[in-house]
């Protein structure tokens, strides 16, 4: 992956998206919902234009593709057969200091000095022992024969540093670590310290220089020691003195948080699917009652309380009847009411393959397309909308004979590259990654990732995979229903293979915005040059195709003529009418949301300056800012041709 990033550009894009109504944080007034986003008035138009163009290219302009719209709620058996319940997992690690979660397989290798800690004690107890060390006969602790040897094991050959004002510090143990840890354990057992911990910890100084290592200087402590103090503070020691043992240089380590250097937890499996329940289900402790309500003719009787976990049936007939149709344990409930929010749209295509085949009467090769929501409980949503927990996919499952698979893989790779070029993403910003045997799914004979250079680095936009006959075979075996295709010409039955181009709607929308974002210089109302923010969307994708302005809003003939033009264009494209503010400011507002054309109705339109210009308008092009005079009667045809 390309590591070249531009965080400043990305920050500007995120700010613009909120300011101009492209994308908002979901539930923002309540603090936001991580990994969920809402599209505003402009963003939803951009998203709809993208999906409509994909559907047009992939379905309407082809004779070999049909569409479906599958259910989001998915039967567990579908996902059991597809392997999602068993295998749709990511390795998860947590930062031991901040609690932030990461995917273990996405941790970038780090290098630096690793500090190991065996525990910590409270500052007040430690500092008292340090001060009493030189006068043991005056100390109630140092003078004890059972404790003095343990104290000498720890406080001999020891370097330490404390900040009396902040009441924190560290001790560096340079040898005999096991013995000294046992001595510390014995002292803790004797309640010598008010608060203590023997939980091990380590942290990496990410900024360290291999030539030398610094524990502290006049101004600061090493960042790894600061992290250790935070770690033990979270474990109940408000003012910790931490015990450092070894310090060693590490290369290419993925055990530490790349953001702060804290140790991460060991990886553990995390299923990415959202589980839910279906049906009218009421829970009472470990039991479940599925309730049906009969017709109401009077006040409903109170239901008896359920206090036993044993199955029982009951009914009430006064007025409204509530009949316990089934009482079961939690285990039965798991089996009967569980459903999942689909983690991908593909599975509904596979399980409906036979129905679509019989009703559409298609012959191999042919495809089934779908655009729809999918849900994955991402460990660490990030990079704005790029990785979210709720997202939308544009997927095609293209079914073929086995011998056609590899050829169609190449065909669909090229078709998808053309698609991105046709919506305004240049070929030089797209990169095709051939997924290696080790990285791709076990059932795939070939996979390409189409990647784009985002401001936060090169990332995947779409995958094109040759999935062989794995999916249909799995569902045929699990369901016991035939998903074979009968070839009328050869009289042969076979399970079709499939090539899958799978694109993310939200990722593509973000790529379009990132690609379109630009800054240049343009004159303001006074003719002075200023920075202009502009989104250079391809006209066919732009949220608003044309904006119409009367030059002056108080001039009724100009307003009336402008509104007639809006009425002329609106049945054919999304048009925006604006009459407020100086004309230059209106242009800038449209530039920022990517409107490719602006039409201005001025006094020439009314024929006041030149009768030859009557019923003509100024047509301004966004990118070049060039203006031309065009007759109103020619306007619709000219715009339709340019936004096709």
The full set of domains in the chain, from first to last, is 7-88+343-513 (3.30.930.10), 109-253 (no CATH), 277-291+323-341 (no CATH), 525-643 (3.40.50.800)
How far is C-alpha 159 from the geometric centre of its chain's CA atoms? 47
Would you state the pLDDT for residue 143?
Answer: 86
Backbone CA torsion sign across 97, 98, 101, 102 = negative
Would you state the pLDDT for residue 494?
Answer: 94
Cα separation, 611 vs 416, in Å, equals: 51
Would you state the pLDDT for residue 207?
Answer: 86
Would you state the pLDDT for residue 429?
Answer: 94
CB atoms within 10 A of CB 260: 18
Phi and psi torsions of 366, nearest 5°: -150, 165
Helix (H) or strand (E) holding 282: strand 281-284
CB atoms within 10 A of CB 617: 25
Cα separation, 572 vs 81, in Å, equals: 46
C-alpha distance from residue 226 to each of 195, 204, 233, 456 (Å):
19, 11, 11, 29
Cα separation, 616 vs 17, in Å, equals: 35
Would you state the pLDDT for residue 552?
Answer: 93
Six-digit token string for 176: 């005999």
Backbone CA torsion sign across 322, 326, 328, 333 = negative
Cα separation, 466 vs 469, in Å, equals: 9
Cα separation, 132 vs 272, in Å, equals: 56
Helix (H) or strand (E) holding 127: helix 123-132
- If phi > 0 it is left, if psi is from -120 to 50 it is alpha, else beta; for residue 607 that is left
Would you state the pLDDT for residue 258?
Answer: 93
Helix (H) or strand (E) holding 125: helix 123-132
pTM of the model: 0.75
Residue 259, judged by CB atoms within 10 A of its CB (0-12, 13-18, 19+), counts as exposed
C-alpha atoms less than 13 angstroms from C-alpha of 143 in its C-beta half-sphere: 7
Contacts 24+ apart (CB under 8 A), 182-187: 183/150, 183/151, 183/153, 183/154, 184/118, 184/119, 184/121, 184/154, 184/243, 186/150, 187/147, 187/150, 187/151, 187/154
| pLDDT averages per 10-residue partition of the chain, 644 residues | 72 94 93 93 97 97 96 93 83 91 88 93 91 84 86 80 86 85 88 91 89 80 93 93 92 93 90 84 49 38 39 36 41 69 94 95 95 88 89 96 96 97 95 92 92 94 96 95 92 95 96 95 81 95 97 93 96 95 93 96 89 92 95 95 91
Cα separation, 301 vs 559, in Å, equals: 66
Cα separation, 281 vs 337, in Å, equals: 8
Which DSSP category does 144 fall into? -
Cα separation, 94 vs 97, in Å, equals: 9
SS (H, E, C) 41-92: HHHHHHHHHHHHHHHHHHHHCCCCEEECCCCCEECHHHHHHHCHHHHCEEEE
């Amino acid at each position: 992956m390309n590591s070249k990033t531009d965080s400043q550009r990305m920050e500007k894009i995120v700010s613009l998206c909120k300011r101009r109504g492209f994308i908002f944080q979901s539930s923002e007034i309540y603090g936001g919902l991580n990994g969920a986003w809402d599209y505003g008035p402009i963003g939803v138009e951009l998203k709809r234009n993208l999906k409509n163009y994909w559907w047009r290219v992939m379905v309407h302009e082809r004779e070999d593709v049909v569409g479906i719209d599958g259910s989001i709620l998915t039967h567990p058996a579908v996902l059991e057969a597809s392997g999602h319940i068993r295998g749709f997992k990511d390795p998860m690690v947590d930062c031991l200091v901040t609690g932030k979660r990461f995917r273990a397989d996405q941790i970038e290798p780090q290098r630096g000095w690793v500090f190991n800690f065996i525990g910590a004690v409270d500052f007040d107890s430690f500092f008292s022992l340090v001060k009493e060390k030189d006068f043991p006969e005056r100390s109630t602790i140092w003078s004890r024969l059972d404790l003095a040897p343990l104290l000498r094991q720890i406080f001999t050959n020891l370097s330490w540093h404390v900040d009396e004002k902040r009441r924190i510090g560290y001790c560096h143990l340079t040898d005999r670590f096991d013995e000294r840890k046992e001595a510390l354990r014995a002292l803790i057992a004797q309640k010598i310290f008010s608060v203590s911990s023997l939980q091990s910890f380590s942290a990496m100084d990410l900024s360290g220089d291999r030539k030398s290592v610094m524990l502290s200087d006049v101004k600061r402590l090493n960042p790894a020691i600061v992290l250790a103090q935070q770690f033990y503070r979270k474990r109940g020691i408000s003012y910790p003195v931490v015990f450092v043992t070894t310090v060693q240089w590490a290369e290419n380590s993925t055990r530490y948080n790349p953001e702060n250097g804290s140790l991460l937890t060991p990886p553990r499996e995390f299923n990415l699917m959202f589980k839910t329940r279906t049906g009218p289900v009421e829970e009472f402790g470990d039991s479940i009652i599925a309730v049906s309500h009969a017709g109401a003719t009077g006040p409903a009787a109170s239901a008896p309380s359920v206090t036993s976990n044993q199955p029982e049936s009951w009914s009430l007939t006064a007025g409204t009847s509530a009949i316990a149709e089934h009482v079961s344990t939690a285990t039965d409930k798991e089996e009967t009411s569980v459903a999942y929010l689909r983690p991908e749209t593909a599975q509904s295509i596979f399980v409906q393959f036979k129905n679509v085949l019989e009703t559409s009467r298609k012959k191999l090769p042919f495809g089934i397309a779908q655009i729809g929501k999918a849900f994955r409980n991402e460990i660490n949503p990030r990079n704005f909308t790029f990785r979210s927990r709720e997202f939308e996919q544009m997927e095609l499952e293209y079914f073929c004979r086995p011998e056609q698979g590899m050829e169609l893989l190449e065909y669909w790779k090229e078709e998808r590259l053309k698609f991105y070029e046709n919506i305004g993403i240049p070929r030089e910003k797209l990169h095709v990654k051939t997924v290696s045997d080790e990285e791709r799914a076990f059932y795939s004979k070939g996979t390409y990732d189409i990647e784009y250079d985002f401001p936060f680095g090169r990332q995947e936009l779409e995958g094109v995979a040759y999935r062989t006959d794995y999916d249909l075979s799995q569902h045929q075996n699990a369901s016991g229903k035939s998903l074979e295709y009968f070839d009328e010409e050869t009289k042969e039955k076979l399970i079709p293979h499939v090539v899958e181009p799978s694109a993310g709607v939200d990722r593509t929308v973000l790529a379009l915005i990132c690609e379109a974002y630009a800054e240049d210089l343009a004159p303001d109302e006074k003719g002075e040059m200023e920075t202009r923010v502009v989104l250079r969307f391809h006209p066919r994708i732009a949220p608003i195709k044309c904006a119409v302005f009367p030059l002056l809003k108080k001039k009724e003939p100009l307003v009336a003529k402008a509104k007639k033009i809006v009425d002329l264009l609106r049945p054919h494209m999304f048009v925006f009418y604006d009459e407020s503010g100086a004309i230059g400011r209106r242009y800038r507002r449209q530039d920022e949301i990517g409107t490719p054309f602006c039409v201005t109705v001025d006094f020439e339109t009314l024929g006041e300056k030149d009768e030859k210009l009557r019923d003509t308008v100024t047509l301004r092009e966004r990118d070049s800012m060039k203006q031309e005079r065009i007759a109103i009667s020619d306007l619709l045809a000219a715009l339709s041709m340019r936004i096709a």
